[in-house]
Amino acid sequence: MVLLFTSLYLTNDLHFTIVQAGAVMSFYGIGSVAGSYAGGWLTDRKNFYDIMVWSLICSGLILLLMLVIKTAAAIAAVLFAFAFTADMFRPANAAAIAAYSTEANRTRSVSLMRLAINLGFSVGPAAGGFIALHLGYKWLFALDAITSFAAAVMLVMYLPKHKEMKKETHADVLNDRSTSAYKDARYLFFIVLVSVYAICFFQLFASVPQFFSKQCHFKDDTIGLLLALNGFLVVVIEMPLIAYLEKNKTIFRYIIRGTLCLPVAFLFLAFGNAMMIPALLYTLFMTLSEIFAMPFMMNYALSKPLKERQGQYAALYSIAYGIANILAPLIGLGIAGKYGFNPMLYVFIGLSILNAAGFAVIQHQEKENKPVLANQ
């Protein structure tokens, strides 16, 4: 709920300009990058279980500060700290997926995790829109913090510790630079492409709520329901579709298809005359984009490293999304604030098409080198 409605809270309650809101929201992305790196470093050296628990507890405590601060500098600092602690969870979570799953069911394991996220996402925006409209934005921060605490308690109570969790650090592998993710040129190019994809996709949270509010004149609860529809469709469609698609090992084919759904989605907004049906079609194609692209992107990231490098590779994958969290509001709201929403949409249409071409380049390289990937 927080990420979706914070920009509206800044503009509607605190009366920031759209450009100011975009700048403040970018600090969430900066914290996400730093937290992902720290989480990856710790995951390669400590156990992922404790990192996940403390990430949930600390991020919830920090979020409560949003109840008492109002200045741009203070909000930016809290968003940075919140994202830093929250996104330490991501590399640890990726290591947990690798530990609790097998190569044969890894893509399904990723999809199952995404199903859990989207079950929450199908409820969160709808609830958030209702809460923002009838109780006020600050209740969003309090309730989101409570859910973080509840998740930490449930993790401790119900997730058994993995037998290989208390691993010994293999210093020889960690000191061997040739195994480093930073030496893997193709993977680094993949990370750049993931980041560009996420910048385009994250307009769902960064600029499109403002588009719905300012240009379409939808109310907060309507915006929440549109965003909730995304999560609901992922829950209904993704797992059965992935179960069918996982038999095909050419994963970049699906990543490219997912990326090409983005320009189609933005076209519906650009030429939809601020009507509800184009907004619904936009949501449908954004949903198809993440269903096709994201599970296979993450599977590729988890398939690459040695066990001792899982944290580093997962951290880079998370950093790609962190960078997107920085740039998505700056680019989206920056263009919208200066030139209008339609020029912003045209930029993301072109960028997503170029991004699909980049994934096609990696697909060609993968075919030439015939790498050993996880069995999906």
| pLDDT 10s digits, 123-175 | 777 787 788 778 888 888 888 899 899 999 999 998 877 665 555 555 554 55
Smallest CA-to-CA distance from 254 within 297, 283, 284 is with 297
CA distance 114 to 135: 29
Burial 95-130 (b: 16+ CB within 10 A, else e): bbbbbebeeeebbbbbbbbbbeebeebbebbbbbbe
Cβ atoms 251, 242 nearer than 8 A: no
Give a yes or no: residue 350 inside a domain.
Answer: yes
CA distance 192 to 358: 10
Give a yes or no: residue 171 inside a domain.
Answer: no
Give a yes or no: residue 167 inside a domain.
Answer: no
Radius of gyration of the chain (CA): 20
Burial classification of residue 295, based on how many CB atoms lie within 10 Å of its CB (0-12 exposed, 13-18 middle, 19 or more buried): buried
- Residues spanned by the domain of 66: 2-157+181-367
Give a yes or no: residue 229 inside a domain.
Answer: yes
The DSSP element (H or E) to which 235 belongs, if any, is helix 220-245
Cβ atoms 348, 196 nearer than 8 A: no
pLDDT digits (tens, 9 = 90+) for 40-51: 888 877 888 999
Both tokens of 112, joined, read 């199952």
DSSP-derived secondary structure letter, 14: S
Both tokens of 275, joined, read 């009507």
CA distance 54 to 61: 11
CA distance 285 to 152: 33
DSSP-derived secondary structure letter, 88: T
The pTM of the full predicted model, rounded to 2 decimals, is 0.74
Half-sphere exposure of 151 (CA within 13 A, CB side): 21
Per-residue pLDDT of the chain (376 residues; tens, 9 = 90+): 677 678 788 888 888 888 888 888 888 888 888 998 898 888 877 888 999 999 999 999 999 998 888 898 999 999 999 999 998 998 888 888 888 887 777 777 887 887 887 777 777 777 877 887 788 888 888 888 998 999 999 999 988 776 655 555 555 545 555 567 777 888 899 999 999 999 999 999 889 988 998 889 898 888 888 888 887 888 888 878 877 776 666 789 999 999 999 999 999 999 988 789 999 999 999 999 999 999 889 888 877 655 666 777 888 888 888 788 788 888 998 899 899 999 999 999 999 999 999 999 998 887 766 544 444 3
SS (H, E, C) 246-261: CCCCCHHHHHHHHHHH
Give a yes or no: residue 165 inside a domain.
Answer: no
Give a yes or no: residue 372 inside a domain.
Answer: no
Residue whose token pair is 């490293």: 305
Both tokens of 335, joined, read 């263009």
- CATH number of the domain where residue 277 is located: 1.20.1250.20
Phi and psi at residue 373, to the nearest 5°:
-110, 170
Q: Which amino acid is at 182?
A: Y
Smallest CA-to-CA distance from 72 within 19, 5, 140, 10 is with 10
What's the structural domain count of the chain?
1
Cβ atoms 146, 60 nearer than 8 A: yes
Using CA atoms of 340, 342, 343, 345 in order, give the dihedral in degrees to the nearest 10.
Answer: 120
CA distance 111 to 108: 5
Give a yes or no: residue 375 inside a domain.
Answer: no
CA distance 222 to 36: 33
Both tokens of 166, joined, read 């208390």
Give a yes or no: residue 298 inside a domain.
Answer: yes
Cβ atoms 132, 79 nearer than 8 A: no
Both tokens of 246, joined, read 């996982």
Report the phi/psi class of residue 85: left, alpha or beta, with left for phi > 0 and alpha for psi in -120 to 50. Answer: alpha
